[in-house]
Structure 1
């Protein structure tokens, strides 16, 4: 059926192809193979077009998938021998009205970019995710690419250039330039210059490891920033939170309502991105996603109203519990289509007295900074960062899980044997609780130490999801041959530790440290750490068995290598 849809889309390209550049016979051959029912041909086609997965996330901000698609596109070109489109001069001139008529597969899919006109019908028709690109059909790409700046790269423009069919009229080009969107990221807040930047638009950055472990409570400036879209500007005076899906028609709460009508609770909780330590998986085999190091994690004191209290005030009760299973969260950050970032958690976590889920308006005793969700965000202790929705605008109690892209088509784990040709996101549950984790923050990988120091101090962090407390961290200076137990702390240095958490509610990390003698005559040390939680879960020793195509849940033993220098 899928192949039939592909063929149907391609056959409709005929009426709009008269202005196209000529292409090599290889393209026609490839098109013919699309309609082939041969199993062998289908398999080869699948291998050539596995870059199709780029499109499903094109407008949803999944730049990592896009990068994979572009790489595969180049491979596909080499495989079938597609040459660049033959040049002809002059190119036809089209008005914007003519371009607008080509906004469907039936009439062809045309777009414009910087005054040039492109016929991308074949591109869209061949790929199941093409419906996302149809949002720009008949219009300009600039509004979309302004939001997803990852597209403004030379290799993306190379691919687009192959579909060029003409130019816009001078008058329409002037109108388009006058209406060009302003940079949607221009109002983003300033960030601390020490952060290592993974992407600027949207901003994603992490602190240096040695700074992260300096403090048990991570300062907001150094807390990792994970944004999928531009940071919204929200007026706290006009802010309203919509609570829906419960008897009574819902509940609307202002920021003042949250602060005055519900008891204020404070929870110390660690948040970790699902992609933390993705760089370790990249070293084994390339994965798709931001190349996070070991510091896409932080620990803060969050204060706000309990979600449980708000849901009870909105009408939650035994009758609702009989049919409801999930609670959805929607942010005020939206893409160009008006679609907000969204996610959901199980209802049982949301309404449990022991779940400690907050609608937080303070971080470390101050109002939450814009990068971290001002004026209100969800804090779901023990659960992956992706469910801790920032700039919260809507809460919905539902029988179904959130239909958001980030709930259904991202943040899921797969077998090491699953590739982009065969991945089925519906087959895997959305990540909620995270596994046991630890990492070495000092010394850095590649550091040089003096033998005259005689001892080496190693520091790091450890945390486990689901409220499971870290009970031990083992450290080795010889690659795992021998082990020593590190000292754990749950507070600032020189201060009394925080009170032990109740069982199942250990939401905060442990910082750890060990000072050990330098092994005599050693020229190089492979330092390794591994953590154990209260359920005796322990980190896997290597990456390959847990590798997955999205680079998520990376929690193998952390290793750094240092050199010992003689005086």
Structure 2
């Protein structure tokens, strides 16, 4: 039976308030939205639930969304939650004789586990209908469906970045009920990150679980090769514990069979190579994009980039051993040993052409800066894809396969892609954007730090510059007045072969600050060997994933008296 209603009045979101009537158990909009409530026959009631069955009331709630003329995107959900609270504070609804939300058992929640039945989840003692959020979830619909009909706690223990205020606000906007007080509490979940390795205390932490952190800006350009403890940490899942003696790399050969290679096999059967390469996360400098318009993703500063000397065997040599030939087409897919509770592992891929290129220098690395690979950086074996976004350099590598399509991993198909500033979470189509591979030209100022204060006299400005695809950085321009005038910085770093400039250049500029100067607006921009230059502002390159920010980097500092 349908539930008719009449939309009587509308005057904006700022006064709307969704409440539950005391007699019928229905949801109805007070203040500016007035609905004729459903007749009692619409509800299927039972002695155990005097307020009616939520399936019917849920339909009323969905019709409200249609009547309001809005599909709830993330921003709308947040706005709605805020407006609802504000309205409640100004004019709270009349007190009701029953609880403010229907009460359910875990068994009743478990019945809602697919799109057809509505997808319900619990968190704490609350019940949420997240069906309308499935397609909007940045982590993909499949991840929410893992918790369908059950508790979020086991999954949020793994993806602990959910425990942020904006995420909780989004979740609260989908609340449809509460768990019965008679239900036993959700069993405590063991910490999947309990075995993570220790980290340097100076790192600036973005998230603890999974661990994502960057070095302080003043440390970044101190060394051409980044010391392993200060190399930025980018983890998507808990760091796996791997027994190197039992470890095996599984490689699909050209005949479809699987080769199993131990670390000893790799070290004995293939020549070792050393490659100095910079690894940069696609989200480096995302904080500047978030300052313009929030992406609700990790707010990296300028430190999601580091450089190391990687030691290992060429991926090309292993693929040739497995029967692949130069000129073969396709994609090389990688899988790591880090996995979530469903068994889903981190995965990514690169074009086979890159892997088989004799000058591509793609490594299966077991050393970092002359030492055994640290756990945070992929022990005992990882991929290092020079010149390419860090997301393709899969850590804790366990499987390599070759096929006509790129990896089906979420991180290949539904993440690490660039979009127009016009694309929103309501309009995004991940299938229409290619996966990020080579990175654009980049530079940043590491010293002085933002909001620093200097005195008149000599000032040294330091930073780094790098470009993807093996393109060498040929120049870094620095301005002390916001881009009105420019000076060329001095570049330092190892000589690199044309087309194989995998590592960054460090740069510095010595300048004189005249007496009487009150403020410096320092700007840097790099130019690579293809004469690609950085865009001057963030706005035209802002995107919903907050990736590929390579706008001019700016640092404003004050000048005090000598």
Report the equivalent of 1:348. Answer: 353
**Superposed, which structure 2 residues align to 1:477-516 within 5 Å?**
477-490=480-493, 498=494, 500-516=495-511
Match of 2:144 in 1: 133
Mapped partners of 1:21, 1:165: distance in 2: 14
More deviation, 393-402/129-138: 129-138
Q: Structure 1 121/417 Cα, relative in aligned 2: closer, same or farther at 3 Å?
A: closer
Q: 1:27 to 1:303 in 2, by over 3 A?
A: same
Q: Deviations over 1:166-201 (max 9, x none)?
A: 32646x54xx52xx3310011111110100010111
1:430 aligned onto 2:442: no
1:349-368 CA-partner distances (Å, limit 9, x unpaired) = 01111000000000000011
Corresponding residue for residue 166 of structure 1: 179
> Of 533, 539, 545, which aligns to 1:538?
533
Does the CA contact (< 8 Å) of 2:73 and 2:136 recur in 1? no
Mapped to 2, the partners of 1:550 and 1:230 lie a distance apart of 22
Matched, 1:50 2:50: no
Q: Aligned equivalents of 1:197 and 1:545: distance in 2?
A: 28
Matches within 5 A, 1:402-413: 402-413=407-418
Indicate the SS of the match to 2:154: helix
Deviations 1:284-303 (A, max 9, x none): 22223211111110010000
Separation in 2, partners of 1:433, 1:87 = 62
**In 1: Cα distance, 2:485 partner to 2:119 partner:** 63
Distance 2:62 2:112 in 1: 21
The residue number in structure 1 matching 2:155 is 144
Distance 2:152 2:319 in 1: 42
Matched, 1:197 2:228: no
Q: RMSD value over aligned CA atoms?
A: 3.3
1:131–1:77: structure 2 CA closer, same or farther, 3 Å change rule? farther
- CA–CA distance in structure 1, aligned partners of residues 60 and 86 of structure 2: 12
Distance in 2, Cα, partners of 1:16 & 1:257:
68
- Cα distance in 2 between the residues matched to 1:256 and 1:19: 68
Contact kept, 8 Å, 2:103 with 2:180, in 1: the verdict is: yes
Task: Give the secondary-structure state (helix, strand or coil) at the position aligned to 1:136.
Answer: coil
Residue 24 of structure 2 corresponds to none
Secondary structure, in 3 states, of the residue corresponding to 2:70? helix
Q: What per-residue deviation string (whole Å, max 9, x for no partner) do you get for residues 146-178 of structure 1?
A: 1111333566556458333432646x54xx52x
Structure 1 position 257 matched with structure 2 position 265: yes
What's the offset of the Cα at 1:520? 4.7
Q: 1:381 to 1:520 in 2, by over 3 A?
A: same
Report if the CA contact (8 A) 2:217-2:446 is conserved.
yes
Deviation at 1:250, TM superposition (A): 2.2
- Which of the numbers 196, 205, 216 marks the counterpart of 1:188? 196
How much does 1:556 deviate?
Answer: 1.0
Using a 3 Å threshold, how does the CA distance of structure 1 residues 14 and 192 change in structure 2: closer, same or farther?
A: farther
What is the alpha-carbon distance in structure 1 between the residues aligned to residue 141 and residue 559 of structure 2? Answer: 55
1:31 aligns with 2:62: yes
3-state SS of 2:288 partner: helix
Change (3 A) 1:449 1:91: closer
Q: Which residue of 2 aligns with 1:557?
A: 552
Q: Aligned partners of 1:16, 1:200: CA distance in 2, in Å?
A: 46
- Residues 422 and 75 (structure 1), Cα distance of their counterparts in 2 relative to 1, 3 Å cut: farther
TM-aligned CA distance change 1:551 to 1:99, over 3 Å: closer
Q: 1:313 is matched with which residue: 297, 321, 325?
A: 321
Q: Report the counterpart of residue 127 of structure 2 in structure 1.
A: 118
Cα 1:332–1:168 change in 2 (3 A) is: farther
The SS at the match of 1:32 is helix
Q: 1:215 to 1:157 in 2, by over 3 A?
A: closer
CA contact (8 A) 1:247 1:316 kept: no
Partner of 1:88: 98
The answer (yes or no) to whether the contact 1:16–1:107 under 8 Å persists in 2 is no
TM-score under structure 1 length normalisation: 0.82
- Segments of 5+ residues of structure 2 without an aligned counterpart are 1-41
The Cα offsets for residues 535-560 of structure 1, whole Å up to 9 and x where unpaired, read as 11111111112121221111111111
CA distance in 2, matches of 1:522, 1:371: 45
Change (3 A) 1:468 1:72: farther
* Separation in structure 1 between the aligned mates of residue 506 and residue 255 of structure 2, nearest angstrom: 45
* CA spacing shift, 1:366–1:16, aligned 2, 3 Å: farther
1:74 and 2:97 are equivalent in the alignment: no
For 2:135 and 2:310, locate their aligned partners in 1 and report how far apart those are by CA, in whole Å. Answer: 48
8 A Cα contact 1:20 1:164, kept in partner: no
1:519 aligns with 2:514: yes
Find the counterpart in structure 1 of residue 281 from structure 2. Answer: 273
Matched, 1:336 2:341: yes
Pick closer, same or farther for the CA change 1:70–1:199 going to 2, 3 Å. Answer: farther
Normalising by the residue count of structure 2, what TM-score does the alignment of the two structures yield?
0.83
* Consecutive unaligned residues in structure 1, runs of 5 or more: 1-12, 52-67, 491-497
The structure showing larger relative contact order (alpha-carbon pairs under 8 Å, at least 6 residues apart) is 1
1:380-413 per-position Cα deviation (integer Å, ceiling 9, x unaligned): 0000011111111111101001111111111111
Q: How many correspondences in the alignment?
A: 511
